[in-house]
């Protein structure tokens, strides 16, 4: 590789000792030859020998003088300048010495001027942004106390903001994080289609979409006047359904007593009429009672009728019936019927319809179980047929239709998997629907047909290619498109995941394995301190005491931890589209590679980057570099996976300005620089 700066210290010392040795040896041979030829005596002989050794001695002494007075001060100056470039506020531990001592006042002046300029710039920036910062702080405070889960993504669907409610709502989901793609959090095609068609005026659009074991009601709005930013709020439709069913059940329970009261009042009115006819009461009193009871009876009857109509309307209410994409529905139903096998094969043209997804899935699951004698156990075909005002959801199988009497009996069955055990007929009435079975032409196939409300949506969602506590970073919107050529991305715009592993030993090719994996994320050249990955791993083998002495982990610490393949799958989700970063990455990548999880993404190595920047300086292990760049390990975090990963991330941020000062601005340039810096003698450094 091209030499940068001073030659390596070992080379200089070797060259110096070689020249001195050759000169001294040559002088000795020359002195012996002259002594044999001239045979001098006394002072002459002493002068001859001294003169013969003077060349080698001079080279040795001059080299020693240069090392002490020039080369060592130059290396110290290089270390100090590197530290100042990385952090102008770093400690001054290497003042100029030797022949460079006169540079001390000038260097102090440069450092003080640099710091003063930075201070004035920071003050001006703070004063200019104070109002915006106050508004942002108030906004953040408001968002964090909101109970509604909220996400904000940029035009490229990268998350710029989420609140505490969203973090709680998606608890345990490693795809929630600043800079990550929305597709990784909610990988459903219908959501991408709705996002692409949002109006720019901020009008909301609503969507019901599956997420793991829940159905989520998502409200999407384009932020008016923005560069394509989108605001998303979430509600657990399954939980909301439970609450609404409770209200409906309470209303249903109120109806029988009200009807009884109405009947009693009517009977009382009839009795008073009979008393009047018999003439056993005062005429005035009878008329007054008859009027009051008759009026109350009519009013009560009207209220009962009104409540009955309200109950019916609630069963058919439109706000519970939200748009769904049929392929999303078939997939969710398939997972409900048999998670291990694929039972439903969608056919025909998929479509949008309106429905209550949790209720419909429970309804069809109940039907398949109740009518198992008429239905096949090897699967169905699912088809959506478009009518004039309805969408027909059809389950198709080879066989005969289900008799009407069986369907009628099934409609009276309870759905115990739903809250408050509603009947099948209740769910059908909620959708203003019915269900029947019919034979296809030819009689070979039969189908079960469920008509549902249609929507104005047409066409399939466009397929999206899969993507490659701090809660916000609005600067994400200024980053380039994440699908642009990664090689040309600037280093500061890279999303970087710094990681480290702790293992049972160093012989990874002979059975040693990972016992701890830690990582943290850098977005917009800012370390997100709270967005971390920290997981113990069961290595399926004992941890040697020699390894425990280094990282402190014992067999008891990893007992019950998940195996490596599960942890790596979670870690891959956490990484997303980011570039990996490690110190001595060759070792850590060997620890996680070829374990069933693909990490075919660029990898940066702070050890190689440091070697490329400072070839002449010794010591590129993590301890030496943390001391050189004034980085600190919090107590107890050295040789822990997360602790080492965090310091590696801080080291990356310290190296960034030095790379930029040398014109290394893109990932492609840095990878080229890094590839030329590999040296086998440092391959085991950590």
Does the structure show a pLDDT above 60 at 220?
A: yes
Per residue in 425-452, pLDDT (tens digit) is 888 887 778 888 888 888 888 888 888 8
Give the integer Cα–Cα distance in Å for 234 and 332. 19
Does the structure show a pLDDT above 50 at 3?
A: no
Does the structure show a pLDDT above 90 at 370?
A: no
| pLDDT for res 279 | 62
Highest mean pLDDT among 314-328, 332-346, 508-522: 508-522
| pLDDT for res 142 | 72
| pLDDT for res 644 | 94
Per residue in 515-530, pLDDT (tens digit) is 999 999 998 888 886 7
Residues contacting 55, CB < 8 A, separation 6+ = 23, 26, 27
| pLDDT for res 216 | 85
Q: How would residue 564 be classed by pLDDT, with cut points 50, 70 and 90?
A: very high
Task: Extract the tokens encoding 639.
Answer: 């040789």
Per residue in 467-482, pLDDT (tens digit) is 335 665 666 666 666 6
Report how far Cα 496 is from the mean position of its chain's Cα atoms: 12
DSSP assignment string, 148-180: S-EEEE-TT-BEEEE-HHHHHHTTT-TT-STT-
Per residue in 241-269, pLDDT (tens digit) is 555 555 555 566 666 667 666 766 676 66
Q: Coil, strand or helix: which one is 313?
A: helix
Per residue in 59-83, pLDDT (tens digit) is 777 777 777 787 777 777 777 777 7
Does the structure show a pLDDT above 90 at 651?
A: yes
Say what the pTM is. Answer: 0.54
Q: How would residue 309 be classed by pLDDT, with cut points 50, 70 and 90?
A: low
Report how far Cα 13 is from the mean position of its chain's Cα atoms: 51
Is 333 exposed, middle or buried, given 0-12, 13-18 or 19+ CB atoms closer than 10 A? buried
Give the integer Cα–Cα distance in Å for 563 and 514. 9
Q: How would residue 650 be classed by pLDDT, with cut points 50, 70 and 90?
A: very high
- Considering only CA atoms, give the Rg of the chain: 39
| pLDDT for res 460 | 47
Q: What is the mean pLDDT of the chain?
A: 79
Which has the higher per-residue pLDDT, 52 or 460?
52
Q: Using alpha carbons, list the distances in angstroms from residue 470 to 178, 180, 633.
A: 8, 14, 21
| Average confidence (pLDDT) over 133-154 | 76
Q: Do 606 and 588 meet the contact criterion of CB atoms below 8 Å apart?
A: no
| pLDDT for res 686 | 42
| Average confidence (pLDDT) over 114-140 | 71
Q: Do 667 and 580 meet the contact criterion of CB atoms below 8 Å apart?
A: no
Per residue in 37-64, pLDDT (tens digit) is 777 777 777 777 777 777 777 777 777 7
Does the structure show a pLDDT above 90 at 571?
A: yes
| pLDDT for res 349 | 78
Does the structure show a pLDDT above 50 at 293?
A: yes
Per residue in 402-427, pLDDT (tens digit) is 888 888 888 888 888 776 678 888 88
Q: How would residue 466 be classed by pLDDT, with cut points 50, 70 and 90?
A: very low
Does the structure show a pLDDT above 90 at 536?
A: yes
Does the structure show a pLDDT above 50 at 180?
A: yes
Helix/strand/coil (H/E/C) assignment for every residue in 533-555: EEEECECCCCCCHHHHHHHCCCH
């Amino acid at each position: 590789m091209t030499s940068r700066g001073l030659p390596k210290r070992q080379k200089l010392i070797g060259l110096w000792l070689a020249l001195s040795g050759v000169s001294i040896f040559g002088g000795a041979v020359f002195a012996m030859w002259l002594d044999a030829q001239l045979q001098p005596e006394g002072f002459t002989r002493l002068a001859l020998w001294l003169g013969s050794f003077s060349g080698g001695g001079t080279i040795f002494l001059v080299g020693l003088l240069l090392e002490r007075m020039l080369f060592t001060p130059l290396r110290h100056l290089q270390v100090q300048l590197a530290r100042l470039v990385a952090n102008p506020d770093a400690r001054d531990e290497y003042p100029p010495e030797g022949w460079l001592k006169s540079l001390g006042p000038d260097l102090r002046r440069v450092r003080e001027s640099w710091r003063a300029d930075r201070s004035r710039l920071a003050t001006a920036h703070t004063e200019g942004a104070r109002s915006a910062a106050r508004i942002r702080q108030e906004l953040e405070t408001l968002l964090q106390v909101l109970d509604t889960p909220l996400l904000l993504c940029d035009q490229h669907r990268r998350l710029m903001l989420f609140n505490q409610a969203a973090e709680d709502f998606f608890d345990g989901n490693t795809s929630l994080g600043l800079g990550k793609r929305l597709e990784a959090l909610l990988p459903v095609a219908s959501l991408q289609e709705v996002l692409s068609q949002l109006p720019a005026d901020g009008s909301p659009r609503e969507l019901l979409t599956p997420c793991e074991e829940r159905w989520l009601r998502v409200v999407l709005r384009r932020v008016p006047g923005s560069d394509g930013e989108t605001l998303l709020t979430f509600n657990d439709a399954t939980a909301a359904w439970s609450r609404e069913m409770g209200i409906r059940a309470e209303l249903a329970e109120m109806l029988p007593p009200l009807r009884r009261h109405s009947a009693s009042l009517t009977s009382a009115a009839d009795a008073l009429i009979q008393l009047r006819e018999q003439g056993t009461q005062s005429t005035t009193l009878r008329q007054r009672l008859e009027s009051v009871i008759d009026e109350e009876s009519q009013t009560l009857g009207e209220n009962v009728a009104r409540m009955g109509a309200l109950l019916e309307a609630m069963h058919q209410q439109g706000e519970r019936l939200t748009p769904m994409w049929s392929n999303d529905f078939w997939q969710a139903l398939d997972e409900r019927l048999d998670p291990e096998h694929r039972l439903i094969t969608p056919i025909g043209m998929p479509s949008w319809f309106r429905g209550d997804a949790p209720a419909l899935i429970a309804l069809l699951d109940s039907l398949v179980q109740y009518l198992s004698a008429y239905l096949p156990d090897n699967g169905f075909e699912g088809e959506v047929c478009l009518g004039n005002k309805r969408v027909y959801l059809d389950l198709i199988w080879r066989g005969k239709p289900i008799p009407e009497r069986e369907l009628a009996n099934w409609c009276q069955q309870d759905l115990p998997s739903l809250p408050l055990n509603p009947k099948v007929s209740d769910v059908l009435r909620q959708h203003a629907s019915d269900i029947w079975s019919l034979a296809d032409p030819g009689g070979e196939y039969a189908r079960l047909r469920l008509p549902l409300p249609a929507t104005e949506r047409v066409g399939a969602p466009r397929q999206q290619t899969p993507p490659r506590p701090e809660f916000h970073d609005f600067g994400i919107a200024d980053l380039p498109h994440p699908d642009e050529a990664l090689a040309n991305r600037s280093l500061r715009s890279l999303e970087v995941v710094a990681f480290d592993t702790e293992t049972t030993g160093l012989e990874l090719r002979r059975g040693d394995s990972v016992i701890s994996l830690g990582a943290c994320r850098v977005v917009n050249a800012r370390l997100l301190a709270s967005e971390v990955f920290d997981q113990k791993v069961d290595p399926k083998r004992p941890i040697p005491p020699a390894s425990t002495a280094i990282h402190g982990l014992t067999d008891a610490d990893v007992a019950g931890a998940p195996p490596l393949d599960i942890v790596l799958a979670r870690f891959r989700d956490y990484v997303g589209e980011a570039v990996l970063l490690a110190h001595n990455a060759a070792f850590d990548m060997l620890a996680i590679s070829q374990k069933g999880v693909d990490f075919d993404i660029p990898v940066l190595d702070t050890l190689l980057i440091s070697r490329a920047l400072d070839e002449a300086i010794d010591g590129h292990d993590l301890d030496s570099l943390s001391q050189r760049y004034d980085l600190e390990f919090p107590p107890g975090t050295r040789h822990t996976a997360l602790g080492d990963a965090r310091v590696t991330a801080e080291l990356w941020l310290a190296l960034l300005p030095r790379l930029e000062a040398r014109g290394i601005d893109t990932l492609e340039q840095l990878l080229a620089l890094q590839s030329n810096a590999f040296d086998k003698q440092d391959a085991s450094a950590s």
